[in-house]
């Protein structure tokens, strides 16, 4: 039996998907899944769905639920982190206050003022989880799904002895998008992808032994296809490689696309992004999506066959657990510390997203060598922000916080240094109750 803990299980839809993923493997069907959230109503919703999954398939597994984090972590083998600290108010502030200054973020959860401030309010709780794990389940693996991925994993690696790995779905979703553009089944594509989270590069892309890049460049010349992913196609054209993460996200990690309202208005296609469709360019559009996915806590929960179907999603989490538990080897892109030198021309202490082999002995990052210099240079612009944010978190250093925002490519393209300080002042004041005290 495997004991798996979900911290932040009140993310009901995501928790449901992870539970069905885990129980879809026969070897994991006797798992004990412990759900933990600070919101009892959300927790009850997730537990109801989990129990329905177990009951409808007569599984030997067990669902437990608790609002006590330490109780949930006691004896766990794997800990999934999917918390959201603070809820809607600070999230909206992190979008709207920069918008007032002319910093037009698309999502604001990974980089930029939004990502930096989100890390500052989220990291203390994630570090508390990791430190509890050191005491209560020292051999457990922390699987982090919470953004900003790289900053949080970097902080945990730097400050604790807990083993942590970051999981994202951008490689799976990007490969599916490329399959659509090329009219090729995505499962038939072979790729070698490396970089950082939300900015990893398709260094190799093949179908049946043939390089796909010529066909992908031809596809970009089709106006209908280009309109689905203009930022990524432009980056490929100028820098030579297709990139993970969708155009709406990518646009806010670079200085080129979100400083001119006419450009933002021009580049507003609807894009398939996983299981939903959004307009990716307008500022804060993701906030509306986030609201739409909050569970309805009123009335009785209605559960249908689709809710309990043991259909496996593209998420890596269950596959990673299954490989470690069964010694079935898999390769997947994961976010890990670069101290093995997986990417030789990125900093050793940074968090990189690279191919990893998973087996019964654990996670083994693959050696990528040097990225092409122009791709590494773009990664470093984001890593510089991440490094200053980690310093701000671990040392409670307000100067490092301000430097992180000043180094952000989009912010620097939109504002001068004095205006950035004023924006940071406003964010600190607006979100004071959600943030640690700074020196």
Average pLDDT over residues 96-117: 93
In a domain, 302, yes or no: no
Asked whether residue 268 falls in the same domain as residue 360, the answer is yes
Average pLDDT over residues 6-15: 90
Write down the pLDDT at residue 275: 32
Question: Cβ distance 34 to 321 under 8 Å?
Answer: no
In angstroms, the CA 126 to CA 154 distance is 11
In angstroms, the CA 127 to CA 156 distance is 6
Which H or E run contains 90? Answer: helix 88-101
Asked whether residue 275 falls in the same domain as residue 155, the answer is no
Question: Cβ distance 408 to 138 under 8 Å?
Answer: no
**End-of-domain residue from the set 132, 166, 200:** 166
Please, what is the angle between helix 398-407 and helix 417-430, to 10°?
A: 120
Beta-bridge mates of residue 5: 34, 79
In a domain, 11, yes or no: yes
pLDDT at 53 over 90: yes
Question: Cβ distance 348 to 338 under 8 Å?
Answer: yes
In a domain, 439, yes or no: no
Neighbours of 248 (CB within 10 A): 23
Lowest-confidence region among 41-55, 68-82, 255-269, 359-373: 255-269
In angstroms, the CA 324 to CA 334 distance is 14
Average pLDDT over residues 370-375: 98
CA-closest candidate to residue 289, choices 50, 91, 99: 91
If one counts the domains in the chain, the total is: 2
Asked whether residue 160 falls in the same domain as residue 175, the answer is no
Catalytic residue among 57, 169, 191, 198: 169
Asked whether residue 271 falls in the same domain as residue 177, the answer is yes
Asked whether residue 206 falls in the same domain as residue 338, the answer is yes
pLDDT at 155 over 90: yes
Active site residue 289: no
In a domain, 20, yes or no: yes
Using left for φ > 0, alpha for ψ between -120 and 50, and beta otherwise, residue 379 falls in alpha
**End-of-domain residue from the set 111, 136, 166:** 166
Tell me the residue range of the domain where 345 lies.
Answer: 167-295+309-432
In angstroms, the CA 439 to CA 434 distance is 16
The alpha carbon of 102 is separated from its chain's Cα centroid by a whole number of angstroms, namely 25
In a domain, 304, yes or no: no
Asked whether residue 248 falls in the same domain as residue 383, the answer is yes
pLDDT at 277 over 80: no
Asked whether residue 14 falls in the same domain as residue 124, the answer is yes
Lowest-confidence region among 12-21, 124-133, 223-232, 283-292: 283-292
Average pLDDT over residues 417-424: 98
- Residue 14 is given by DSSP the state H
In angstroms, the CA 234 to CA 378 distance is 14
Tokens of 51: 């129990």
Asked whether residue 324 falls in the same domain as residue 236, the answer is yes
Interacting residues of 302 by C-beta distance below 8 A, sequence separation 6+:
none
Asked whether residue 146 falls in the same domain as residue 175, the answer is no
Write down the pLDDT at residue 297: 59
**End-of-domain residue from the set 104, 136, 166:** 166
- What is the CATH classification number for the domain harbouring 193? 3.90.1820.10
Asked whether residue 196 falls in the same domain as residue 241, the answer is yes
Question: Cβ distance 194 to 342 under 8 Å?
Answer: yes
Asked whether residue 365 falls in the same domain as residue 383, the answer is yes
pLDDT at 289 over 60: no
Neighbours of 48 (CB within 10 A): 17
* Helix, strand, or coil (residue 82): coil
Q: pTM of this prediction?
A: 0.93
Write down the pLDDT at residue 245: 87
**In whole numbers, what is the pLDDT of the chain averaged over residues?**
91
Tokens of 31: 């798992």
Asked whether residue 269 falls in the same domain as residue 131, the answer is no
């Amino acid at each position: 039996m495997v004991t798996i803990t979900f911290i932040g299980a009140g993310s009901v839809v995501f928790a449901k998907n992870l539970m069905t993923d885990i129980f879809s493997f026969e070897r994991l069907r006797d798992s004990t899944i412990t759900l933990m959230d600070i919101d009892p109503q959300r927790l009850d919703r997730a537990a109801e769905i989990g129990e329905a999954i177990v009951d409808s398939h007569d599984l030997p597994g067990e669902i437990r639920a608790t609002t006590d984090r330490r109780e949930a972590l006691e004896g766990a083998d794997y800990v999934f982190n999917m918390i959201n600290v603070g809820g809607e108010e600070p999230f909206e502030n992190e979008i709207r206050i920069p918008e007032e200054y002319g910093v037009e973020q698309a999502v604001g959860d990974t980089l930029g003022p939004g990502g930096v401030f989100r890390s500052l309010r989220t990291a203390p709780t994630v570090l508390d989880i990791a430190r509890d794990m050191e005491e209560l389940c020292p051999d457990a693996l922390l699987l982090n799904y919470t953004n900003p991925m790289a900053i949080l994993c970097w902080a945990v690696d730097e400050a604790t002895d807990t083993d942590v790995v970051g999981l994202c779905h951008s490689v799976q979703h990007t490969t599916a998008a490329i399959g659509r553009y090329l009219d090729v089944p995505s499962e038939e594509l072979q790729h070698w992808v490396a970089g950082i989270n939300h900015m990893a590069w398709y260094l190799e892309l093949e179908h049946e032994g043939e390089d796909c890049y010529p066909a992908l460049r031809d596809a970009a010349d089709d106006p209908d296809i280009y309109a689905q992913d203009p930022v990524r196609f432009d980056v490929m054209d100028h820098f030579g490689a297709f990139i993970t993460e969708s155009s709406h996200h990518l646009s806010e990690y670079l200085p080129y696309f979100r400083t001119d309202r006419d450009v933002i208005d021009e580049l507003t296609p609807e894009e398939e992004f996983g299981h939903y469709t959004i307009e990716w360019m307008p500022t804060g559009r993701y906030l509306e999506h986030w609201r739409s996915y909050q569970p309805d806590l009123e009335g009785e929960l209605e559960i249908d066959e689709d809710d309990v179907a043991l259909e496996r999603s593209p998420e890596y989490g269950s596959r990673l657990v299954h490989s470690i538990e069964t010694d079935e080897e898999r390769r997947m892109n994961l976010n890990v510390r670069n101290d093995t030198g997986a990417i030789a021309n990125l900093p050793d202490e940074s968090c990189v997203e690279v191919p990893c082999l998973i087996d019964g002995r654990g996670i083994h990052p693959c050696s990528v060598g040097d990225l092409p210099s122009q791709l590494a240079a773009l990664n470093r612009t984001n890593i510089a922000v991440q490094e200053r944010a980690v310093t701000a978190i671990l040392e409670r250093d307000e100067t490092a916080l301000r430097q992180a925002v000043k180094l952000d490519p989009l912010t620097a393209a939109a504002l001068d240094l004095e205006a950035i300080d004023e924006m940071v002042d406003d964010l600190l004041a607006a979100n004071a109750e959600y943030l640690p005290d700074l020196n």
